[in-house]
Amino acid sequence: MDHFHEIDLADCPCCGGVGSIQEEGGWCLYVQCMDCGAYTAELAYQNEAERQDAARKAALSWNLRKVIRPGPGE
């Protein structure tokens, strides 16, 4: 069930750590760094096809270094 096809994740643009696809409540997903917590914008989906598409888009944002860096005051 938690399998994504052909998703290639680059290293974290902030720290070089490992990125991982996170799903929230079964309706949206994003990529987050397991080390520093940097993450991409959430992408909502409504079915399996959209879920795969959202995973690809989240991975693309991640690989283009479009991440939000967690930090104090944010």
Q: Measure the CA–CA gap between 40 and 58, rounded to whole angstroms.
A: 7
Contacts of 71 (CB under 8 A, 6+ apart): none
- Report the distance separating Cα 37 and Cα 15, nearest Å: 10
Shortest spacing between CB 13 and Zn ion, in angstroms: 8
Residues forming contacts to Zn ion in the complex (CB under 5 A) are 12, 14-15, 17, 33, 35-36, 38
CB closer to Zn ion out of 7 and 15: 15
In the bound complex, what is the minimum distance in angstroms from residue 6's beta carbon to Zn ion? 23
Residue placing its CB nearer to Zn ion in the complex, 38 or 55: 38
